[in-house]
A and B are shown apart, each in its own frame.
Chain A
Amino acid sequence: MGKTLAEKILSVKSGSEAKSGDIVIAKVDLIFVQDTTGPLSVKQFQAAGFERLANSVKAVLFLDHAAPSPGHELSNDHMLLRDFARETSSFLYDVGEGVCHQIVAESLAKPGDLIVGADSHTVTAGGLGAFACGMGSTDVAVALGLGKTWFRAPESIKVALSGRFPDGVYAKDLVLHLIGRIGVDGATYKALEFSGDAISNISIPERLTVANMAVEAGAKVGLFPADEVTRDYLSTQGRKSHYQPLFPDDDAIYEQTINISLAELQPTVAKPHTVDNIALARELKGTKIHQVFIGTCTNGRLDDLAVAARILKRKKIHPETRLVIAPASRGVLMAAMGAGYIQTLLEAGAIILPPGCGPCLGLHQGVLGAGEACLSTANRNFKGRMGNPEAFIYLGSPATAAATALKGEITDPREVM
């Protein structure tokens, strides 16, 4: 009987025939933590009595959520993680290097890998065909010590994509549309597996955006096949040898199939305070926006900054709207500088933050005031998410964000392109 992508990877990593519903113990290839979950992982690792990392494990620590640190408590947490990295010879990406999921995609994740991270958006690496799964600090601490963890092999939902994105419509609109259809618990405990004739036209940065938000429908993983697009991306990253083709079997069994025609999608926005509360951008025209935020593991990549720069070139943002931009990594920031995007965005009135996560989770930078509304390219719009329970968060694509910054109200990007 054929296997889904999730079953294939879990079968290899557990050395068993993993079918959906089975509980398996699987060997983990890459384990990572970030600076708001890592300190608890370190404490649990030590409390469990582990003295060293499992031999087989590649462990990486990221200082990205509070980067650079806004206060002494978080600075102390950073010190604890730097010490742990030194003691265990694990690799640490310090403040300024960027968002963990972006760096994992750029430099670490391989098709077929089993990855666990102490961050829910670990699912992002599913865009490269890795079974990448978010977990809590204690699960990750035990995985660091044992080199393995347990999984319930998930049922998979097939999302079959056809056609091409129309002008002004992007991967973000696709994933918001999907979550709007199935709901914020529409894929809980399950895998979302993307396929269909559109896949070969969907770039890795776009796949990462879609896989990133799989967790916003409750999914354990969001998986794309590894194909020639994956091979070319890894090759560009100097990681050609990391490629292996990976596809589900033709006779794999899916719990259900959802068909989406990309040509029928329109710029889509999630309204406060849940990600499945979607509307079309044009239906929200007139909604005043005080701050626009472009960045995060969802949409802080070079292509995202390119779209925003194209819309804002030789223009000024609305005088009553702030535009805050955080490139997802040092590599993204440098490439955007080289391409002139940063110059264009600064001239348009943007504020450029260092690579990191701060504004997305309300930790620091760009915290909203009471009653203020933000259009963000991030993945969550829960009440209080950006630091103030009396603020309102709308989610959209970088194009919708740039168009909104220009007009000061939610704007369908096709109006300004």
Chain B
Amino acid sequence: MLKGRAFKFGDNIATDHIIPGRFAHLRSNLSELAKHVMEDAAPTFAARVKPGDFVVAGTNFGLGSSREHAPLVIKIAGVSAILAKSVARIFFRNAINLGLPVLLCETDSINDGDELEVDLKASTIWDMTNGNQFTFSKIPEIMLRILDEGGLLPYIQKYGSFKL
């Protein structure tokens, strides 16, 4: 069971907002890079986020650049899962490849600061602040298996290749 607070974002949060190109020189220094996570979407996010918290977004989260550093700094910040109405294609694969769950669901009823609990096995999200309970959509089987192994590297180390 994942537990934490919701940090609410709007639609079309780009990887440029998550980790701007002006910090490209820090990409081989991840602990420094992570201090700038979400800087152009919510400048105080990095200082406020705590391990276990959730990024909760609207549509098309993670559009734009393929930079895997975007989900990587979100993961390093301790975020336990991303909840979004929809997510951009490359970001989706990148997050799952890093073992960071991306849960597709209706997010309008979740408010910034709400306490959430997520049961990945039961596909269920509880908003403990307003009492709502809802489910998230299934993701493709291959992504689920990669996520179950903790990411693409452990998956490949276990199976040696992709298994359909």
A residues in contact (CB < 8 Å) with B: 23, 25, 36-37, 39-40, 44, 47-49, 65-66, 70-71, 73-74, 76-77, 80, 118-120, 122, 134-139, 142, 145-146, 148-150, 152, 184-185, 188-189, 218, 220, 274, 361-363, 367, 380, 382-385, 387-389
Contacts and interface: CB of A to CB of B under 8 A. Distances in A.
Nearest to B163: A25
B17 interface: yes
Contacts of B140: 23, 152
B142 A142 contact: no
Given A119-B66, A152-B140, A384 B24 contact: no
Interface of B: 12, 14, 16-17, 20-22, 24-29, 39-40, 59-60, 63-69, 72, 86, 88-90, 93-94, 97-98, 140-142, 151-153, 156-157, 161-162, 164
Contacts of B22: 362-363, 367, 384, 387-388
B63 A37 contact: no
Nearest to A25: B162
A361 B65 contact: yes
A189 B69 CA distance: 21
A49 B17 contact: no
A218 to B, nearest CB: 6
A363 B161 contact: no
From A65, A73, A120, A148, residue with most partner B Cβ within 10 Å: A120
Nearest to B72: A40
Q: Is the interface of A mostly helix, strand, loop or mixed?
A: loop
From B22, B26, B29, B164, residue with most partner A Cβ within 10 Å: B22
Nearest to A367: B22
A74 B68 contact: no
A142 B152 contact: yes
Given A23-B140, A137-B68, A185 B86 contact: yes
A321 B8 CA distance: 39
B12 A184 contact: yes
B145 to A, nearest CB: 11
A245 B70 CA distance: 39
B59 to A, nearest CB: 6
Given A48-B157, A188-B60, A134 B14 contact: no
Given A40-B69, A380-B65, 15 more contacts: A36-B24, A40-B68, A48-B156, A73-B29, A138-B151, A139-B152, A146-B156, A150-B164, A152-B140, A184-B60, A185-B60, A218-B60, A362-B20, A382-B17, A384-B16
Nearest to A16: B164
Contacts of A380: 14, 16, 64-65
Contact of A138 (B21, B65, B68): B68
A223 B125 CA distance: 39
B28 A76 contact: yes
Which 3 A-B pairs rank lowest in CB-CB distance, beginning with the nearest?
A361-B21, A136-B94, A136-B68
A385 B21 contact: yes
B164 A389 contact: no
B63 A185 contact: yes
A45 B156 CA distance: 11
Contacts of A146: 156, 161-162
A134 B66 contact: yes
B28 A49 contact: no
Contact of A218 (B29, B68, B89, B141): B89
Contacts of B68: 37, 40, 118, 136-138
Contact of B89 (A44, A220, A367, A388): A220
A77 B60 contact: no
A65 B24 contact: yes
A148 B164 CA distance: 13
B4 to A, nearest CB: 25
A236 B151 CA distance: 44
A332 B16 CA distance: 28
Contacts of B98: 138
B43 to A, nearest CB: 9
B28 A39 contact: yes
B82 to A, nearest CB: 15
13 contacts: A23-B140, A23-B141, A40-B68, A48-B156, A73-B29, A74-B24, A77-B27, A120-B66, A135-B93, A137-B94, A139-B94, A188-B89, A220-B89
A149 B88 contact: no
Contacts of B65: 119-120, 361, 380
Nearest to A387: B22
B157 A188 contact: no
A395 B110 CA distance: 34
Given A23-B164, A77-B27, A150-B142, A383 B89 contact: no
B25 A74 contact: yes
A36 B153 CA distance: 20
Given A40-B27, A134-B66, A383-B40, A25 B164 contact: yes
Contact of B20 (A37, A49, A122, A384): A384
A384 B17 contact: yes
Contacts of A389: 20, 39-40
B153 A382 contact: no
Nearest to A76: B28
Nearest to A122: B66
Contacts of B29: 73
B144 to A, nearest CB: 12
